[in-house]
């Protein structure tokens, strides 16, 4: 018990680190949002006609994006979600730079009634690392 009292900050730091490493994936599973790899995303595009929703800012999108991606910045998604209604029965793969903003977009889409929502794990960084094509 004395060890715990003397090292409480180290213990809290270790607990926070663990949560940050594993909590994101757990949240995704609990919220019903599936994290997909770039290769899994390509399979969704090719076999299930998934929509790619890029939620990055305009300048980021202009620097290069996944071919045929629909661009709606995260800050505008709440007011423009109606533009996606025709895709409610199709899978949607949300993408951003790292996977964080697109994770938020997935949550917004789930609340709006979209069922087949996926987050591109690692975002465009993972897409680039996989050597997959982009267009400008």
**Cα–Cα nearest to 24, from 117, 100, 95:** 100
Contact call for residues 3 and 55 (beta carbons, < 8 A)? no
**Cα–Cα nearest to 101, from 75, 133, 125:** 75
Rg of the chain over Cα atoms, rounded to whole angstroms, equals 18
Phi/psi of residue 90, each to 5°?
-110, 155
The residues annotated with a catalytic role in the active site are 96
Nearest-angstrom CA–CA distance, 7 and 22: 23
């Amino acid at each position: 018990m004395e060890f715990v009292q003397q090292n409480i900050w180290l213990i809290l730091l270790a607990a926070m680190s663990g949560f940050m490493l594993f909590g994101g994936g757990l949240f995704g599973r609990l919220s019903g949002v599936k994290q997909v790899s770039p290769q899994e995303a390509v399979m969704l595009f090719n076999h299930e006609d998934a929509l790619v929703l890029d939620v990055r800012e305009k300048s980021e999108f202009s620097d290069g994006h996944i071919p045929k991606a629909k661009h709606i910045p995260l800050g505008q998604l709440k007011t423009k979600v109606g533009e996606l209604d025709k895709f409610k029965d199709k899978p949607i793969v949300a993408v951003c730079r790292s996977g964080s903003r697109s994770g938020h977009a997935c949550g917004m889409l789930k609340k709006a009634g979209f069922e087949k929502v996926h987050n591109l794990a690692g975002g465009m960084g993972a897409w680039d690392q996989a050597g997959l094509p982009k267009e400008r």
